[in-house]
Amino acid sequence: MLDAETLAHAAIAYPILLFSLTFHEWGHAMSAKLLGDRTAELQGRLTMNPISHIDPIGTVLFPLIAMLQPGLARFIIGWAKPVPVNPLNLRKSTDMVWVALAGPACNLILVLLGVLVFKVLLVFDLLPAGERNAEMAVTAFLTFIGINLILIWFNLIPLPPLDGSKVLLAHVKGHWRSFPFWQAYEAYGQFVLLILFLSGGLSLILRHPMIWSYDVILRFLF
């Protein structure tokens, strides 16, 4: 439930999530441009303005639901409005895979930057003075790292509109792309995600990779 502690954490976590999702989508748009497709740029999506990337379900509803999930309350998750990409403008048929993976790659960059900066602050004792201030700084850094880490794993799930589904689609050949099941798969993927959220299934899917990767980072930091 949304108690005072959860709301206080959300006040830190949600701006981090919004920034991370924005950088994620910027990565898609920039990689598409570099690979020959300017569709996203022409539609104003090659920007770090979060308003351009907000999705009512993925950026508003899902983070709220995540705060109510025991396994995900610490690291709220979601997605932004998918960046438009025209595969016909890309130089190679395989470029769509790289465009899809650019989003999680941007989150990985943020994880590495967060770990690096936090490690430097710890090694050189540069955390803010005062126990309360130091505690808040540690919480903010760990939340920043954790949210971007979970966004990497979350986006690799092969369900639309997540990036994993686009990687899967790139490997689906010819007539299979027009197969009715695939059309339904693309149309209703986000509702499957919603069911996974509500049932707690998403927590089960993400728990083990998150525990493993987060533990590796904590061992390095401390």
Q: What is the pLDDT of residues 79-101, one digit of tens each?
A: 999 999 998 999 998 899 999 99
Query: What does the alpha-carbon distance between residue 146 and residue 111 come to, in Å, rounded to a whole number?
Result: 8
127: nearest Cα among 221, 28, 214: 221
Distances, alpha carbon 92 to alpha carbons 37, 156, 176, 204, in Å: 11, 22, 20, 36
Q: Would you name the residues annotated as active-site residues?
A: 25
166: nearest Cα among 84, 62, 45, 111: 84
Read off the DSSP letter of residue 72.
Answer: T
Query: What does the alpha-carbon distance between residue 86 and residue 122 come to, in Å, rounded to a whole number?
Result: 45
pTM of the model: 0.91
Angle at 5 between CA 3 and CA 6, to 5 degrees: 65
- 1-10 residue pLDDT tens: 567 777 788 8
Q: Which residues contact 129 (CB under 8 A, 6 or more apart)?
A: none
60: nearest Cα among 79, 83, 36: 79
Note whether 26 and 46 are within 8 A (CB): yes
Please name the helix (run of DSSP H) or strand (run of DSSP E) that holds residue 202, with its range, or none: helix 201-221
Report the pLDDT averaged over residues 140-152.
96
Query: What does the alpha-carbon distance between residue 218 and residue 196 come to, in Å, rounded to a whole number?
Result: 28
- What is the predicted pLDDT for the residue at 203? 85
- What is the predicted pLDDT for the residue at 179? 61
Confidence band (pLDDT; 50, 70, 90) for 198?
confident
Please name the helix (run of DSSP H) or strand (run of DSSP E) that holds residue 31, with its range, or none: helix 4-34
Enumerate the domain spans of the chain.
4-221
Mean pLDDT taken over the chain? 89
